[in-house]
Structure 1
């Protein structure tokens, strides 16, 4: 029997994002945190944001110790002003070019549908849906300038399967919205 040669390669040999730039909204916890780590671990230079400055600084310090190229700033993506400022910071940081936009931010208010207020509705729509749409508009010139662009929306199974997450959250995370 002939000897079998090993054709498997390490992750580093198969995948590399060296030279690529990425913006991950809400990158300091949960899925966003894991995405930042993965992109940075593959060699991308990552910019992220969080509403929580203390948490952001803690994460930036951790990533620096790991040797990752990650920067970030405080931003509440529910605020149009904050989104505009974030886009300007990212444009400046990456010299007007961006390869990857990850619309990760999402939040929820857990209560029965009949108990939602118009303020609850507005907050969830601004945070989960409007911010992602607007970030795409703001990032478009940067993505186009890079010549190799990708946009990722983090959705939820709650958008297609009945879960006890609340009807407004489900509507904002419906994969068919995009």
Structure 2
């Protein structure tokens, strides 16, 4: 769901909840957490491939967001601002892991089927062999994404999983529109190389 999606009828807009938070209303922040915790967790998990750490980092991101809310000038969408905070939290964690020599992808970690592969799964009941092939494909896609650089993982996640527009991605990272398009091009090209055998088998 793109960050710019309008609220559902009867749903309090983010900007109103933010104003309440800035006035000290913790219940308004609870609403924001409930609204975005799933997306923040999914984004974090896809970047680090560790379920427990992803929950911890998501919680840390929300804590930092609460502390920073008084200085939020509402010059961008709340989710864009929240994403920036989460991005910094995750990258700090990744840098520390790299320094400690523990930044490699671990295939034994808890596996989730990523949303990016969902489009390839037919609707309705599947034959056992078809379901197995789709599960294997989802695993291969996830492993391929894990081999990308952090910047390319991020761009694939925001575009293919989160469904954000180029302009929203540029605001969230932040970077220029040209950088978004360039990174996305090279990330997709790298994924095609990593999944070349999958394409050949499907032909």
Q: Tell me the TM-score normalised to structure 1 length.
A: 0.30
Higher relative contact order (Cα pairs below 8 Å, separated by 6+ residues): 2
User: Which is richer in helix?
Assistant: 2
